[in-house]
């Protein structure tokens, strides 16, 4: 499998090169040169396969022969060794819970898969690789946990000061070892811009790669959730609509890749907070990124989502074709809190702010007869403890893995400019 830059000004690379480079030299995102649909018989009988078998079939063409079959199977097995249940809330709505991994967030899958792939590729390399990643919330903790102690890999995480939850911050600033957190005075887009600039800076002496969803090894494994959900639902529901809380749009783009592989998903809804660059694009057909705004659903506080260009590519940049399979709506914090209350009052279910935005996406889309809507619960409610408890007037039990980090001391290095990042990387 070869990958090419969506900026079309860099030579094609192998899977391993795409993983190690993260971003193409022309600042473009890597995209597979070809996508082969899975056998129809496999999709039709998907409930006869284990999650490990499904995930292996979905990912193997994108890895090719660069990782031996037995090794890739082991990587997949270690990546998804927890549950992905669809919890029924209403007659035609369910929540796909993606928070049963080690850091209680959906990004555990991509981070664990990438860490193991990079560890394999780097096992014979005497030089260290530095994973440089920007986070608006959950990416940092998932990447830190996934790469903790991986030989030959240092991890540097940039996060916006005061704009992640306390628990999210503790998850990325308390591990030590090969993990360093840089606290940036700015917003997530500032962090992301610094990361992109570092990749193109020939004055940086380290070998850099990214663990954001711009990296193919972080982005593609997110397909797995959609296959697992479909496996649970397809015998009872023929028309499935996914509503995905969306910030950098990697998760929903992976779902649309699963659709490209043959998974019969009827429609996708990208639900955002007030950072509405894509909802506005879907109204007017004009893409105008903007500065991000802080919200209670902070993992979606992205004004220029990197992965939307991949979504457009999946539809050959045909706006009208995209509109037939994809919708996008934005919601305020007040609407989000109201949805959290309604979900709790009607279903006795505690949704985090991001999941509530996904629920609102289904409401606005307007499910038709025979359609079953699935919104993604991308993080455990405890990760947004203050907002959830204040909104619902309920105390949320704190899981044991979170209790272990709450009392740990935060360790971070404060920076404000790209020059400070560059100085740190070269030190």
CATH code of the domain containing 340? 3.40.50.1100
Looking at the fold, whether 258 and 179 belong to one and the same domain comes out as no
Looking at the fold, whether 231 and 251 belong to one and the same domain comes out as yes
Looking at the fold, whether 278 and 238 belong to one and the same domain comes out as yes
Structure tokens at 234: 């397809």
Structure tokens at 290: 């903007």
Looking at the fold, whether 300 and 176 belong to one and the same domain comes out as no
Looking at the fold, whether 323 and 234 belong to one and the same domain comes out as yes
Distance, in Å, from the CA atom of 100 to the CA atom of 140, rounded to the nearest integer, reads 17
Distances (CA, A) of 92 to 163, 303, 323: 35, 32, 23
Looking at the fold, whether 270 and 359 belong to one and the same domain comes out as yes
Asked if 228 contacts 51 with a C-beta cutoff of 8 angstroms, the reply is: yes
Looking at the fold, whether 316 and 415 belong to one and the same domain comes out as no
**Residue 54 belongs to a domain:** no
Asked if 340 contacts 280 with a C-beta cutoff of 8 angstroms, the reply is: no
* Structural domains counted in the chain: 2
Looking at the fold, whether 228 and 95 belong to one and the same domain comes out as yes
Asked if 221 contacts 59 with a C-beta cutoff of 8 angstroms, the reply is: yes
SS3 of residue 156 by DSSP: strand
Q: What pLDDT, on a 0 to 100 scale, did the predictor assign at position 188? A: 85
Structure tokens at 45: 């009988």
**Residue 213 belongs to a domain:** no
Q: What pLDDT, on a 0 to 100 scale, did the predictor assign at position 113? A: 96
**Residue 18 belongs to a domain:** no
Distance, in Å, from the CA atom of 309 to the CA atom of 179, rounded to the nearest integer, reads 30
Check residue 97 and give left, alpha or beta (phi > 0: left; psi -120 to 50: alpha).
beta
Looking at the fold, whether 266 and 383 belong to one and the same domain comes out as yes
Low pLDDT (below 50) residues in the chain: none
**Residue 369 belongs to a domain:** yes
Looking at the fold, whether 283 and 319 belong to one and the same domain comes out as yes
Looking at the fold, whether 282 and 151 belong to one and the same domain comes out as no
- DSSP letters along 232-257, please? HHTTT-SEEEEEEE-SSSHHHHHHHH
Degrees, nearest 5: CA angle 189-199-421:
65
**Residue 69 belongs to a domain:** no
Q: What pLDDT, on a 0 to 100 scale, did the predictor assign at position 33? A: 97
pLDDT per position as a tens digit, 328-382: 999 999 999 999 999 999 999 999 999 999 999 999 999 999 999 999 999 999 9
Nearest CA among 264, 265, 216, 314 for reference residue 42: 264
Q: Where in the sequence numbering do the catalytic residues fall?
A: 107
Instruction: Count CA within 13 A, CB hemisphere, residue 144.
Output: 28
- Which residue in this structure is represented by tokens 């909104």? 391
pTM: 0.91
Domain residue limits at 414: 128-206+398-426
pLDDT per position as a tens digit, 258-276: 999 999 999 999 999 999 9
Asked if 120 contacts 70 with a C-beta cutoff of 8 angstroms, the reply is: no
Check residue 189 and give left, alpha or beta (phi > 0: left; psi -120 to 50: alpha).
alpha
Distance, in Å, from the CA atom of 335 to the CA atom of 341, rounded to the nearest integer, reads 10
Looking at the fold, whether 247 and 379 belong to one and the same domain comes out as yes
**Residue 13 belongs to a domain:** no
Distance, in Å, from the CA atom of 128 to the CA atom of 142, rounded to the nearest integer, reads 21
Distance, in Å, from the CA atom of 194 to the CA atom of 425, rounded to the nearest integer, reads 12
Q: For residue 379, what is the DSSP state?
A: B
Asked if 393 contacts 340 with a C-beta cutoff of 8 angstroms, the reply is: no
**Residue 122 belongs to a domain:** no
**Residue 48 belongs to a domain:** no
């Amino acid at each position: 499998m070869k990958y090419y830059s969506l900026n079309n000004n860099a030579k094609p690379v192998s899977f391993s090169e795409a993983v190690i480079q993260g971003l193409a030299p022309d600042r473009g995102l890597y995209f597979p040169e070809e996508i082969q649909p899975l056998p129809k018989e496999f999709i039709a009988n998907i409930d006869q396969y284990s999650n490990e078998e499904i995930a292996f079939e979905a990912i193997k063409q994108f890895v090719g022969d660069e990782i031996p079959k037995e090794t890739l199977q082991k990587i997949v097995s270690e990546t998804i060794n927890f549950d992905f249940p669809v919890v029924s809330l209403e007659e035609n709505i369910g929540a796909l819970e993606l928070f049963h991994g080690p850091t209680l967030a959906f990004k555990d899958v991509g981070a664990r898969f990438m860490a193991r792939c990079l560890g394999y590729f780097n096992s014979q390399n005497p030089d260290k690789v530095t994973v440089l990643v920007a986070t608006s919330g959950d990416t940092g903790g998932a990447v830190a946990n996934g790469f903790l102690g991986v030989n030959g890999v240092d991890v540097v995480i940039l996060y916006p000061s005061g704009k992640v939850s306390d628990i999210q911050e503790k998850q990325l600033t308390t591990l030590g070892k090969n993990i360093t957190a840089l606290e940036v005075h700015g917003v997530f887009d500032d962090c992301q811009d610094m990361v992109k600039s570092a990749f193109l800076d020939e004055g940086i002496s380290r070998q850099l790669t990214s663990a954001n969803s711009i990296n193919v090894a972080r982005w593609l494994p997110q397909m797995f959730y959609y296959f697992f959900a479909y496996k649970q639902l397809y015998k009872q529901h023929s028309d499935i609509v996914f509503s995905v809380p969306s910030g950098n749009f990697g998760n929903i783009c992976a779902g649309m890749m699963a659709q490209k592989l043959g998974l019969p998903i009827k429609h996708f809804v990208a639900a955002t907070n007030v950072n509405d660059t894509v909802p506005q694009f879907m109204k007017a057909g004009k893409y105008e990124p903007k500065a991000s705004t802080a919200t209670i659903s902070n993992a979606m506080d992205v004004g220029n989502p990197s992965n939307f260009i991949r979504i457009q590519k999946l539809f050959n940049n045909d706006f009208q074709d995209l509109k037939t399979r994809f919708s996008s709506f934005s919601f305020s914090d007040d609407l989000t809190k109201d949805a959290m209350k309604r979900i709790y009052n009607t279903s006795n279910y505690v949704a985090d702010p991001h999941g509530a935005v996904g629920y609102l996406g289904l409401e606005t889309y307007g499910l038709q007869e025979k359609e079953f809507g699935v919104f993604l619960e991308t993080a455990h409610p405890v990760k947004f403890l203050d907002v959830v408890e204040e909104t619902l007037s309920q105390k949320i039990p704190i899981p044991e893995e979170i209790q272990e980090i709450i009392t740990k001391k935060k360790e971070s290095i404060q920076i404000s400019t790209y020059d400070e990042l560059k100085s740190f990387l070269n030190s």
